[in-house]
Amino acid sequence: MGLKRICASIKKYNNFLITAHTRLEGDALGAELAFYALIRKLGKQGVILNEDNIPYGHEFLPGVKKIRRLDAGSPYIKFGCLVVLDCADLKRTGEVWRLNKENKPILNIDHHISNQGFGDENWVDPHASSCSEMVYRIYKQMRLPIAKPEAIAMYTGIMTDTGSFRYSNTTSFTHQASAELLKFGINVPLIYRYVYENLALEETRLLVKLLPRIHFSAQGRIAYFKLNRSIAKDGTISMDLGDQLLSFARAIKGVEVVILFRENLEAGDLVRINLRSQGKVDVNKVAAFFGGGGHKTAAGCTPRGDINKVIKKVLARIRQVLR
Ligand SMILES: [Mn+2]
């Protein structure tokens, strides 16, 4: 079984480079911080390093200051093992995977159903609510004591990936794990406030402007937002704001699939697409068709092309499934 083998691998190495996907969020950060604390308890060394910055609202996580960003000094970091958390494929780490020039073993710990097993050791559990929940299971398997800082990290990861325990990935085990983490005196309302109720005033103004731009398709079963280059410029559309749009749309009666289309965020004619499903449509399959992936109910992809043509193609694909 994957868990036992991952534990054996962790014991083998002494120096870890720990990373997760770009556009960091609660689960990626939670899993990283909890994993780092775990190897420290085993008397081992490690560095957490990501391509992207700590996202707004997550500075409260204990230990977040020791997380490094990819920079000029990064190629000189020595490590014996690369740990990739919450990534469906290696490229989701951005450019971080390139630091593994000496082809050190890769441990792939992830819960995306689209994960093909890019590591030398893979533990992929699509039934896990979150990568943080998987790290929790490593603590249990190794019988390592949990302390408050990593309890906060793992709770935050589980909370964000389950949409605060309301998505279909929430299991009885998710609640059991969370119940144990709560014993460490975690301030749940405060975490919730930091992560979800922390919109900046200018973002709120933008949100109000964008909400009327909602479109519907398939008799109201698909809701989507089209964010043109002009709106998305200066990176003003944070994922935070994107999440707000997605949550708003998924709360509408009869809506099965919610999509966010963002034009040309980084380069060229790329369209960033975020998909959420209420369960009837497997959006991982839809995203996979356009070169992406994720989970059955939450996935993403970044195809090339004119945004209007891309929208047409994606909607046609989903309408087929809804039929
Ligand atoms: Mn995750």
Q: Which two tokens stand for residue 70?
A: 């990819």
Using the mean position of ligand 1's atoms as its centre, give its distance from the Cα of residue 230 in Å: 30
**pLDDT (0 to 100) of residue 242:** 86
How far away, in angstroms, is 243 Cα from ligand 1 center? 15
CA of 235 to the centre of ligand 1 (A): 23
What's the 219 CA to ligand 1 centre distance in angstroms?
31
Residue 323 confidence (pLDDT): 85
Pick the CATH number of 201-322 from 3.30.1330.90, 2.60.40.420, 3.10.310.30, 3.40.120.10: 3.10.310.30
Domain with CATH 3.90.1640.10 in the chain: 2-196
* CA 25 to ligand 1 centroid distance, Å: 8
* pLDDT given for residue 229 in this prediction: 79
Residues with a beta carbon under 5 angstroms from ion ligand 1? 27, 86, 130-131, 161
Contact 115, 90 (CB under 8 A): no
Q: What residue ranges of the chain are covered by domains with CATH 3.10.310.30?
A: 201-322
Q: Which fold has domain 2-196?
A: inorganic pyrophosphatase (n-terminal core) (3.90.1640)
DSSP H/E element including 31: helix 26-41
Distance CA 141, CA 138 (A): 5
pLDDT, tens digit, 9 for 90 and up, residues 212-262: 999 999 999 999 999 887 776 555 556 678 888 999 999 999 999 999 999
How much distance in Å is there from the Cα of 79 to the middle of ligand 1?
Answer: 24
**Regions of the chain short of the pLDDT cut 70:** 1, 232-239, 265-267
Q: Tell how far the Cα of 227 is from the centroid of ligand 1, in angstroms.
A: 25
Query: pLDDT value at position 238?
Result: 64
Distance 209 CA to ligand 1 centre (A): 30
The reported pLDDT for the residue numbered 230 is 76
Between the CA of 283 and the centroid of ligand 1 the distance, in Å, is 16
How far, in Å, is the centroid of ligand 1 from the Cα of 284? 14
Please give the distance, rounded to the nearest whole angstrom, from the Cα atom of residue 35 to the centre of ligand 1. 14
111 C-alpha to center of ligand 1: Å? 7
Burial class (CB in 10 A: 0-12, 13-18, 19+), 287: buried
Q: What is the pLDDT of residues 161-196, one digit of tens each?
A: 999 999 889 999 999 999 999 999 999 999 999 998
Characterize the bridge pairing of strands 214-217 and 222-227: antiparallel
User: What is the per-residue pLDDT for 232?
Assistant: 60
